[in-house]
Amino acid sequence: MPQPAFGLMLQHLRAERGFSLRELGVLADLDHAYIYRLETGDKESPSEEALAKLLRALKASRRESDMLRFLSQHSQTDPALVTHVLSDPTVTYQVFASVAGAAFRGAVRPDYAKLIARVRRILDEEEDNG
């Protein structure tokens, strides 16, 4: 089973902070095996309490927190989108969520760079007209 988007992002944040599963478990007051199951997709949709503990322990930014919350509720989000967004810190949560919603439509895997650029143009136009 491929790694889900939520698990991919959680693992990325944990690795970026230099935490082992056990260290994050201690910091978040959660079982490290539970965190492993979240990362691998054996467990989906953590409770709000568990998610809050993880976000606090990871000292997640607002963007990271919003994205992880979104992913906990939208398990079908393409992990490739998360990989792309994590490599481009200029992608806002609003753009990410818009692209993630658009990515569910159609059978062909989208070009996320193009889709992000398109969403940014639309949002900029709305801002200019609003």
2-53: per-residue pLDDT in tens? 899 999 999 999 999 999 999 999 999 999 999 999 999 999 889 999 999 9
Cα–Cα distance between 107 and 8 in angstroms, integer?
22
| Total count of domains within the chain | 1
Angle CA(10)–CA(93)–CA(95) in degrees, nearest 5? Answer: 125
Prediction pTM value: 0.90
Task: Quickly state the pLDDT bin for 129 (edges 50, 70, 90).
Answer: confident
Query: The dihedral of CA 56, 59, 60, 61: what is its sign?
Result: positive
DSSP character string of 17-39: HT--HHHHHHHHTS-HHHHHHHH
CATH code assigned at 88? 1.10.260.40
Residue 113: give the domain boundaries. Answer: 5-129
